Every structure is written in C-alpha cells, then in structure tokens.
Chains A and B, each alone.
Chain A
Amino acid sequence: MSEPIIEVRGLVNRFGAQVVHDGLDMTVVDGEVFGIVGGSGSGKSVLLRTILGLHRPQAGSVKLYGRDLTNLTESELRSVKGRYGVTFQAGALFTSLTVLQNVQLPMLEHLQMSPLALDELAMLKVRMVGLPADAARKYPAQLSGGMIKRAALARALALDPRLLFLDEPTSGLDPISAAAFDDLVLKLQQQLKLTVVMITHDLDTIFRVCNRVGVIVDRTMVTDSLQGIVSHPHPWIAEYFHGQRAGRFAAAAGS
C-alpha cells in the first residue's frame, strides 16, 4: 500500500448533545477512488467539511498529505486548501461570474501567470470536462444541471490538484448524464492520476467508479473494498446494498 493521502483518526464531532461522529477512522491512499456512503443525517457532509478544514472537530486528528489540519494556522491551512479540488452538491458556482471566470478564480487567488495563460489554461480545463467552448462564456443560470456539475468539476481542477473531493456528483442528473459524468470522473482520475473521495448515494456510481467504500454507521466508519462491503453483515449496510433498489448490483458484484 502506498502512503495515505488522508488519514482521519478518532474523529469526534458533536453539535450540542447530538454526537455525529464518535471515534471515526478513515484512510485514503494515493490513486484510489474512495466512496463515502451513509444514511441521511449520518454526517457525511460534516465529515467532508472536517477533512476540507472548514470545520474543526471536537477531538481526533485529520491528516492531509501528512499534515494535521486540526492544529494548522490560517495561512498554513490556506496553502493546504490550494492542494485539493472540491465540487459541492449543488455546484456552488459563483452565479455572478461566467464559467470561465469561475475556473479562473482559484487560479487568480493561488497562482501567478500572464492573462493569456490564465485564459487559455482555464479554457483547457473547461474543455477537459467535456464542455463546449461556448459554454465558457455563459453564466451558471444559463447551464443545464449536467453542465453545472461539469463546470464545477472544471473549477475543482483549476489548480491541478492531486486530490479531488466530490459531494454527490451525480445527484439530480438523469441516468444517462450521470453515467457520462461517472465516465468523465473515471477518465480524469486515470489520466491525471487523481485520488478521488466522493460522497454519493448513487449505487451505479459506486459500482462504476469506486475502489473502496466507507460506510458511516453508528457514528463510525466501516471501510472495505467494493466486494467486501457488499457482503458486510451490518444490517444497515446489508439493507443498503441488498435492499429493493439495489438487488441487481449485489448480484452483479457477487458474480
């Protein structure tokens, strides 16, 4: 196994009396696609926000590239934030900027380059996620759901990160667009040698893209390979992968 990119140990997150995570461990190694699964309200988004350094946990350590996020200063945290890309659930594109400007924003913030290079590199990112050139000049409100997801991915790739976080990348897409997005993520992951961490509910995406899956149950995480997790005895996990909506996948994974 190669060195871990993300290492979460004994994570505790509490909101008032409500304990969301209690001693949660999670490890992501270089080059894998790690899927995070969990019921609604199980703390997937809180976990993501903790790993991104947007939320400080009550206890435990979160190491990104070997550096503990929980005791970094603001400026150190800022430099770590330049080393990963994120897409949020609803895209979170800046609505007052065009797609191209959205991609350029992190580049302007973290990099120095000529205006020409800025334009052309941002355009390259837009094209890499499979958007046509004229989409670059459009505002988010003028794009379809699938295009917004792609534009958000282009923005996440703006700084050429090695690590990519995707929060429900295929939610709200029709099955064909979702499958195309899965293929895109897989293609980029292989060609750019990315490490991808994604939160998803989409079983198609899990089986198509992920190498390993972490399931948040009982405030901790159960991690296993795709094959292993499908046959895990925990009742919620069994229900998740073998319930009514999942029957066909379990059969496929078992064969």
Chain B
Amino acid sequence: MQQFYEEQRNGAQLTLRLAGRWCATEVGAIEPQLARLDTRGLQHIRVSTWDLTELDISGAWLLWRLARDVRAAGTALDFVDGEPEQLGLIERSLTDTAQAPLMNPAQHHEEYLGEDTFAAVGRRAVRAWHAVLNGLGFVGQLSLMLGRALRTPKRWRPTSIARHVYDTGVTAIPIVALIGFLIAVIVAYMGAQQLRKFGADIFVVDLVTVGMLREMGVLLTAIIVAGRSGSAFAAEIGAMKLNEEVDALHATGVDPIEVLVLPRMLGLMIALPLLTVVADGVGLAGGALLCRFLLAMPFVQYIERMDEAIGSFTFWAGIVKAPVFAILIATAGAFRGLQVRSSSRELGRLTTVAVVQAIFLVILFDALFAVLFMELDI
C-alpha cells in the first residue's frame, strides 16, 4: 500500500516527510495511517511538504487536525518548507465568525431526548387536536365553497371537471373492469364450491348478483380509485404547493380550493358512479361465464335467476354510495396535498397518508351504509 508519509525519529524529535496526493479521494487511505502515528513523548515534530504532489482542502484538513491534536498535547509542530496556505484558510474559516466551535458529531441526533415523557405526551395530544381541527376546518371550507359554486354555475369549470372525469374515470376503465371480472369469478367459484354440497347451485347467481351490485362493485372501484386518483390528487396539489403555485393562486385572488379541489371532487363524483356501473356489468358477466362453464348453467337460466334476485333497491343500494366515496377520496387527497410544506419527503409521506386515509374512510363509510340500509330494511 502507498505510504503517505515517512517518519524519521531522532530522540524526542520526529520528522514527517509527506508524500503523494493528499486530497479528498485519498482521505480514507491517509486517515488510518495517521491514526497509527505515535506522537507520545515527542517534543518536536517537523513536517516536510516538499514531496507532496497535491494538497487540497481535505488533505490540508488532515494536516490541520494533526497539528491541532499534537499541539494540544504539548508537542511543538512546524513546517520545514513553510506552512501550506490551505491551513491558514481552514483556520480562518473555522474561526472567522464568533460562532460556536466545531459541532459535536453526536449532537445532531435527538433534539428532544432531554424532554420528559409528560411534555412529549402533551405535545402529541395538542398536535393531534390541531390535526382534527384542521381537518374539520378544511371540510367546512370545502362545503362553503361547494355551496357557493353550486349556486353560480359559472364556477363549475366544466373543462376542468371534464379533464378530471377523463383522468380519474375513463383511463381507469380497463383496471376496474379487470378487477370487477376477477372478483366476480372468485365469488362465484367460492360460492359454487359450498352451495353445490347442498344442491343449491342456482343460488350462486344470487350470491354474485347481490354481492357485486350492493357491495363488491362499488367498494372495489372506490379502493382502486383511491389508490389511483387519491394519490394523484395529493401528489399534484402537493407539487404545486412546493412550487409556490398555490401561493400564486392565492395572490391572484383565486381560491385554490375552488380551482384545484372542487373540479377534482366534482369530476370524481361523476366518474366513480360510472366506473361502478362498469364494474357491476363486467362482474355480472364474469359470474355468468363461470356459471356457464363450471356449473353448466345456460345463460338464459342465469339471466332469469338474476332477474329474480335483483330487488328494486339492489342496484341503487350500491350506486348511491359511489358519490359519497368520491367525496371522501377527493377530500383526503386534496387535504393532504395542501398540507405539503417545504420538502419532497413531505410530499411522499402525505401522498401515502392520503391513500391510506381514503381507503380507510371508504371502508368505514361502507360499514355505516350497511348499518343504515339494515335499519331502513332495504
């Protein structure tokens, strides 16, 4: 291995003859060599820089640190060929302002380590309470804005809404259709396995029809859309926030909620029910296919049974939930997007939060709907 210095010992005097390239790329190699240098019991160290081929700030810093440590231990250190000027630069840089000395490397972790548990709990509680208030405030603001917009049709921004219907709805058709189909097939298959034992094959149709129309169709569509569009809303609005575009809107006297949040929400309220219809339709078709090939049930029989299974409210009990889910997804995405502040890491974190909360809210409200429909006996 290359030696970056030569030692010549003469009693209590040590001469260090530096050699090679003392620069940033070699710091990793020079450091351990310097660490092996034994300076105990020395009175005088003389450093020769004559053979150095290169010395940059990183290399000079190693010398500066050596000089500092050696001198602190009471040993004299001087440079035979004059002190390299970089050392002076380092010295001046580190002392030029009356600031704190070199930071202790252990210090930049845990600022709050000293804080007692009680204060930490309090701080968290206050923060959680603020989060609740902020969320409520946003919902209130959004409702006000929605009310105002609905009264003045000029504020509906049809172009913008159309774009969001396209982005969140039309482009989602393939994936929603595929998932709807697969879920219907799975439900029919599982149902057929059980019901066949009782010779009740025909009720597979009821299972698929009622299951898809009332629950599966709308729930799965909402979850897919929450993943696709909830994240897109949060990321889009969050990036605009980082670029100060939202501030620019404010400054132009345009309410960001009106131009950014409302069109997304209204667009999604149109797109999600339509997507649900797609999922329902494809699901029923999937069920029919499975019954035809697994249970050898003719299509005509499937359709007849389906007709009997669907009550007057079966379809509407599913579809009525879609706009509500749309509001939840759009609100969660937009709210989290608008909370993005100052860093790209925040953007990622809040996008994740937006999707998780959107899915949670969708499932929570689906449960509430289930209870409501049961009480209403629908």
Which residues of A approach B to under 8 Å, CB–CB?
82, 94-96, 98, 100, 107, 110-117, 119-121, 123-125, 127-128, 130, 132-134, 136-137, 139-141, 157, 159-160, 191-192
Contacts and interface: CB of A to CB of B under 8 A. Distances in A.
Interface stretch (B57-65, B156-164, B233-241, B370-378): B57-65
Contacts of B85: 191
Contacts of B57: 124-125, 128, 157, 160, 192
B94 A124 contact: yes
B342 A134 contact: no
Contacts, number: 94
A141 B341 contact: yes
A113 B96 CA distance: 26
Contacts of B103: 119, 123, 133, 136-137
Interface string B120-161: 000000000000000000000000000000000000000000
A191 B25 CA distance: 20
Given A124-B57, A141-B341, A112 B28 contact: yes
Contact of A117 (B31, B56, B86, B89): B31
Contacts of B56: 160, 192
Main secondary structure of the interface of B (DSSP, over half): helix
The 9 closest A-B pairs by CB, nearest first: A112-B28, A141-B342, A96-B345, A95-B343, A160-B56, A119-B105, A160-B24, A128-B93, A132-B99
Given A112-B28, A113-B31, A137 B61 contact: no
16 contacts: A96-B343, A107-B24, A111-B28, A112-B27, A112-B28, A113-B28, A114-B31, A120-B61, A121-B27, A124-B57, A133-B99, A133-B100, A134-B100, A160-B57, A191-B89, A192-B89
B5 to A, nearest CB: 17
Most buried by B among A98, A110, A141, A157: A141
B105 A115 contact: yes
Given A111-B25, A120-B65, A133-B99, A127 B343 contact: no
B24 A159 contact: yes
Most buried by A among B27, B56, B97: B27
Contacts of B27: 111-113, 117, 121
Contact of A124 (B23, B90, B101): B90
Interface residues of B, number: 34
Contacts of A139: 342-343
Contacts of B97: 130, 132
A43 B86 CA distance: 37
B197 interface: no
Contacts of A98: 108
A100 B23 contact: no
Nearest to B107: A137
Nearest to A93: B343
Contacts of A111: 24-25, 27-28, 58
Nearest to B89: A191
B31 A134 contact: no
A128 B105 CA distance: 18
B63 to A, nearest CB: 13
B33 interface: no
A178 B3 CA distance: 44
A115 to B, nearest CB: 7
A112 B341 CA distance: 34
Given A95-B345, A117-B27, 19 more contacts: A96-B346, A111-B25, A111-B28, A112-B28, A112-B29, A113-B28, A115-B105, A123-B102, A124-B94, A128-B90, A128-B93, A130-B96, A132-B100, A134-B99, A136-B103, A137-B108, A140-B342, A160-B56, A192-B57
B338 to A, nearest CB: 16
Contacts of B344: 94-96
Nearest to B24: A160
Nearest to B106: A119
Nearest to B343: A95
Interface string B69-106: 00000000000000001100110011011011111010
Contacts of A96: 343-346
A123 B89 CA distance: 14
Given A128-B93, A160-B23, A116 B105 contact: yes
Contacts of A119: 103, 105
Most buried by A among B25, B29, B31: B25
Contacts of B23: 160
